[in-house]
Structures are given as C-alpha cells and as structure tokens.
Amino acid sequence: MGMKNNRKLTAVDILAASRLMRDLEDRIPGALERLKDLYTKTGRAYVIGVTGAPGSGKSTLVDRMIDVFRKEGKTVGVVAVDPSSAFSGGAILGDRIRMQRHATDEGVFIRSLATRGCLGGLCRSAQDIINVMDAMGKEIVIVETVGVGQNEIDVVHMAHTSVVVLVPGMGDEMQAIKAGIVEIGDIFVINKCEREGAEKVEGDLRSALGMAGRLNDGWEPPIVRTEATSGKGVPELVTEVYRHKAVLEQGHGLAEKLKEQMKITFLKVLESMVMEHFLNKIQEEGLWDSMLSDLVQRRVDPYTLAERLISEELAGKRPEA
C-alpha cells in the first residue's frame, strides 16, 4: 500500500493507514491481508504501555509525554484503549480533547479504540493498530489502557516498558497490591502529586514492591511523581523510560521479553483462529442442536466431544498417502 518507513509520510499514506486501522477494528476481511503485507516493516517502534485507574490522568500524562518526545524530534503514535467507552461513550471524546493540541502535528498519530473487553479481541485490535503505527514509522508508540481486570495485564504483553499510574487519596493504600499491579509496572507514576497523600501512596507502593520482591530484581522499578496538568515530572518520567530501555537492551533482557511476548501473541492468534474455524464448522453443519442435547443429557462429556471434533477434522484434512 505504498507506506514508506521513513519519517516523511504522504497524505495518501496517512489516509491509507487510518483506513487500515479502521478496517482492522471493524474486522473487514481484507484488512488482515494488508496487515500481513506490512508485517516485515514492524518491530522498530518502542512501545510504552500506560495503565492506571479510570481518571488517574493517563491521557493528560500521555499528552505531556508526546511533548517531550516531539521536542526530541521523535514521531509518536498513540493507541488509547478504553473498554468502557463502548458503554459510556464519553471517554473517546475525552482523549481527543485532551490530546487535541497534537491533532495538527504530522509527527503524531492518535487513535482511540472502543471495545467491549479482551474477549472480543481488544488485545488483537490494539496489537494490530500498534503494528500499523510501527509500520508507518512511528518511533514511539504509547498504548493507554484503563487498568481494570485483564486489560492491564494484556497491555504488558504488548509494551516494552509498562508505566503504571497511581494517584494520592484514591481510597485505601492497598490499591497497588489489590490490583496486582506491583507485578506489572516497570515504572510507577504518582500523578496528581500536588494532592495530599502523595507521600503515603509512595510509601505504601514501596513496601508493596518490597513484599513482591521487586526491589531486588535486576530492575528496581522507579517511582516518579508527576503533575500531568502542568507537565511537572514528565521529563523525568521519559528519562526513566529511556533508562529502562537501556537496561533491557543490555544483555538478553529485550530479546527474551520479545520472545515471550511473541509467544503470547502467537498463541492468542492460534487460539482465536482455531476457535473460529470450529465455530464455523459447527454452525455451517448445523451441529449445535444435537451436540447440546447430547451434552445436556449426559450422553457424552465435553472433553470427548471436543476430541471427536478435532480428530474428525484432522482425519478429513490428512492428505492421501
């Protein structure tokens, strides 16, 4: 589709990329073919995940991070994933408004992704869009996800550096431990740090990190205080991202991480393709009624039925000797 991996993208390239992202999100069949063609041009962007509770200031923070990267002359892509926006409808507009300042900057590409959660393919859509931005030549890709449920875990599988955002006074000090986020952050941010309680969150976080054994790891996750609305602390945050990147690139850290992430990605793709294949088969051959009544009547167990389905499929596909 004529997208060049240099920094000067033509309007046609940008339009084509936008269209491809939309088609991927809408699961238009041909879109996957176009993504396949682009795949060899991916793997160059540095991917930063930003996760945290709703309203913790992630978008404002990302907006400020864009400033820092742009001042360095780096091109930036942003994927703002919001699983709840499909219901509330408000957040997407919020992202657009908060990052509005960058709307006319050709070096910045912002894409919001409304989706109903990971089961519907949030992870794949987000990964697909990261790949398109990567192929467009964006040097930095930032993925913003609301830290609820499985999302924050999934974003870790896509990001090279994961940033977890906390805020003071969000109820109990246990917000860090409860959500299990001490395990996933490479860098922790205490945003809205001008508010009362920043000290306390930081102390609680530090002890949670200690208990989780994260303070005597190869990488001790730094805690950065920011005030995203004014931009305070954001250059320091970016510096920590670079420091983490440098540490990853030493030795085999990055290579191992990429392999592990690729494995997860591949398994997810395989799983969804296999599932889709069998669902189609069951539907097309009208097998649901008899299968379900057999199962409900306990004439067969689900394990045997699944094995039967798979072995029939394999027997059917086996080439003639």
Which residues are at the interface with ligand GTP (CB under 6 A)? 52, 54-60, 82, 91, 94, 98, 146, 191-192, 227-229
- Return d(Cα 254, Cα 47) in angstroms, integer: 12
Q: Which residues pair with 80 in a beta bridge?
A: 112, 144
3-state secondary structure of 252: coil
Q: Which helix (H) or strand (E) holds 46?
A: strand 46-52
Site string for Mg ion, 57-76 (x = CB under 5 A): -xx-----------------
Q: Which residues pair with 232 in a beta bridge?
A: 227
Site string for Mg ion, 19-58 (x = CB under 5 A): ---------------------------------------x
122 closest CA partner among 92, 159, 165, 82: 82
Specify whether the CB–CB gap between 112 and 129 falls below 8 A.
Answer: no
Site string for Mg ion, 83-122 (x = CB under 5 A): ----------------------------------------
Q: Which is nearer to Mg ion, 25 or 144 (CB)?
A: 144
243 closest CA partner among 221, 261, 215, 213: 221
Q: Which is nearer to ligand GTP, 27 or 101 (CB)?
A: 101
Q: Which is nearer to Mg ion, 145 or 161 (CB)?
A: 145
- Taking CB atoms within 8 Å and a gap of at least 24, the contacts of 7-16 are 7/75, 7/107, 7/137, 9/106, 9/136, 9/137, 13/136, 14/106, 14/109, 14/136
* Residue 222 contact partner, candidates Mg ion, ligand GTP, none, CB within 5 to 8 A by sort of partner: none
* Residue 228 contact partner, candidates ligand GTP, Mg ion, none, CB within 5 to 8 A by sort of partner: ligand GTP
Helix extents (H) in the chain: 11-25, 29-38, 58-71, 85-88, 91-98, 122-135, 151-156, 175-178, 198-211, 234-249, 253-284, 288-296, 302-317
Q: Which is nearer to ligand GTP, 89 or 180 (CB)?
A: 89
* Residue 131 contact partner, candidates ligand GTP, Mg ion, none, CB within 5 to 8 A by sort of partner: none
Q: Which two tokens stand for residue 267?
A: 């398994």
Query: What is the nearest approach in angstroms of ligand GTP to the Cβ of residue 219?
Result: 25
Q: Which is nearer to Mg ion, 49 or 137 (CB)?
A: 49
Total residues binding Mg ion (CB under 5 A) = 2
Q: Which is nearer to ligand GTP, 82 or 134 (CB)?
A: 82
3-state secondary structure of 188: strand
Query: What is the nearest approach in angstroms of ligand GTP to the Cβ of residue 97?
Result: 9
Query: What is the nearest approach in angstroms of ligand GTP to the Cβ of residue 163?
Result: 12
